[in-house]
Chain A
Amino acid sequence: GAGVSQSPSNKVTEKGKDVELRCDPISGHTALYWYRQSLGQGLEFLIYFQGNSAPDKSGLPSDRFSAERTGGSVSTLTIQRTQQEDSAVYLCASSLGPGIRTDTQYFGPGTRLTVL
């Protein structure tokens, strides 16, 4: 079976432009996570979807960031009016859920975003 896939693998954009990053989780996984990995900050949690519940958005750094998950499967992370500090690798993960104590997260290869 396929793992978590993300697209694009690389994205270069100009400051002020909007970008959309896509994540396809493992089929049957009800939980989906977005993380950001940047130099000096390590890996940071952004947002978490579990089934049809309202997402946990507590990690989103500003209101320029939003995410949605359609049909309980594919997710899109949108960054509006990108800034240079948004440059990072954005990682998506999925897990079977909702057995939080033992749930292993499976990560995609990430999207490397560069804001010029």
Chain B
Amino acid sequence: DAGITQSPRHKVTETGTPVTLRCHQTENHRYMYWYRQDPGHGLRLIHYSYGVKDTDKGEVSDGYSVSRSKTEDFLLTLESATSSQTSVYFCAISSGRAEAFFGQGTRLTVV
């Protein structure tokens, strides 16, 4: 498996609190992605990165921010978590015009 690790794997947090999810890779891939997966909605792109400090919004970016200060780490932050952000979050990495490798996912519950 590609060297990609998500942390934490599970988290329960309260509404209104900030939450940061981490994606760490050891493959030196340029492109990194954050998705959320909800029943009936497939995988929806939140934000993606095409290099250090280079990020762009996906289709469901409201309420989320990201940072990529080094190649190996891509952080997803929920500034003030809401119940609608309860989901499974996947990070993916890619070298470009090739396959993407996914992390194991983070199950986030906002109560």
Q: Do A and B bind each other?
A: no
